[in-house]
């Protein structure tokens, strides 16, 4: 598992075009961010995050633990008969991030989670590693009784560095969320609520040293480094509606998973 740095910043929406123009001499769009007559296209990222009955991973983030995991099922754009999804474990190891990832058809997802039979359903390149990563995901899924807690959806523009294509820049826009989704709601736009109206999330990802051009642009736009978690922020905005005790491990009677 290769580890990289991720630096995240909130940027006002009205500075999006200005920031993109400033970055373009140093980056090129990734394969999913197309350049057309109307400008750059974007794609939609959809993730269902899982947590334990005691919201263990949510509280690990809130308490600032240096070593923690996130478990999610990720898909892209709109559903079709060939839709592919990914089982992902995102690991934070001090100030670096690594990821385990396995690919399967969305239509096979329920069967995989029911049977645990990775050999029948996991596919794609680097299959031996993908099978191991899927086994890791399922180990936690069963041993920790993981349940779907938060659906996070956003529209992304993604770029790679021209001088080092391992540098990756993303603009995550219209970040929105709904809580307690089912697997069938991965591609749904219902019940979604904006997490940060008026802002998008800039992420700068690299393996060794942040490029000087990226640092210069961060300073030029007076951007502040933030410990942004779309998962925990997505839960936080629902507290105003559902009450903070809903997520408290000491209040089992209010925990939606307690009777499952």
pLDDT digits (tens, 9 = 90+) for 49-60: 999 999 999 999
The full set of domain ranges for the chain reads 5-254
**What is the reported pLDDT for 242?**
38
Region 213-218 average pLDDT: 98
In this prediction the pTM is 0.89
Region 13-37 average pLDDT: 88
- Residues 15, 13: Cα–Cα separation, whole Å: 5
- Residues 50, 73: Cα–Cα separation, whole Å: 8
Region 117-127 average pLDDT: 93
Please state which CATH number belongs to domain 5-254.
3.20.100.30
Please say whether the beta carbons of 173 and 44 come within 8 A. Answer: no
For residue 95, what pLDDT band results from cuts at 50, 70 and 90? confident
Region 104-119 average pLDDT: 97
Q: Phi and psi for 193 in degrees, rounded to 5?
A: -125, 135
Q: 201-224 b/e with 16+ CB inside 10 Å = b?
A: bbbbbbeeeebebbeebbeeeebe
């Amino acid at each position: 598992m290769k580890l990289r740095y991720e630096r995240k910043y909130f940027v006002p929406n009205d500075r999006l075009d200005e920031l993109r123009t400033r970055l373009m001499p140093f980056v090129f769009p990734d394969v999913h961010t197309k350049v057309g007559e109307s400008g750059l296209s974007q794609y939609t990222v959809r993730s269902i995050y899982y947590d334990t009955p005691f919201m263990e991973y949510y509280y690990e983030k809130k308490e600032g633990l240096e070593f923690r995991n996130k478990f999610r099922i990720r898909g892209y754009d709109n559903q079709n008969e060939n839709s592919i999804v990914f089982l992902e474990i995102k690991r934070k190891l001090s100030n670096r991030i690594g990821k385990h990832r396995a690919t399967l058809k969305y239509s096979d997802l329920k069967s995989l989670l029911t049977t645990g039979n990775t050999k029948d359903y996991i596919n794609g390149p680097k299959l031996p590693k993908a099978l191991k990563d899927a086994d890791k995901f399922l180990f936690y899924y069963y041993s920790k009784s993981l349940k779907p807690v938060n659906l996070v959806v956003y529209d992304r523009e993604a770029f790679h560095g021209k001088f080092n294509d391992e540098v990756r820049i993303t603009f995550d826009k219209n970040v929105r969320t709904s809580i307690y989704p089912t697997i069938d709601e991965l591609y749904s736009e219902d019940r979604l609520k904006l997490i940060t109206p008026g802002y998008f999330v800039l992420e700068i990802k690299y393996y060794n040293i942040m490029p000087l051009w990226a640092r210069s642009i961060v300073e030029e736009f007076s951007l502040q480094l933030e410990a942004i978690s779309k998962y925990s922020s997505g839960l936080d905005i629902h507290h105003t509606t559902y009450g903070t005790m809903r997520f408290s491990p000491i209040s089992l009677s209010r925990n939606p998973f307690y009777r499952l």
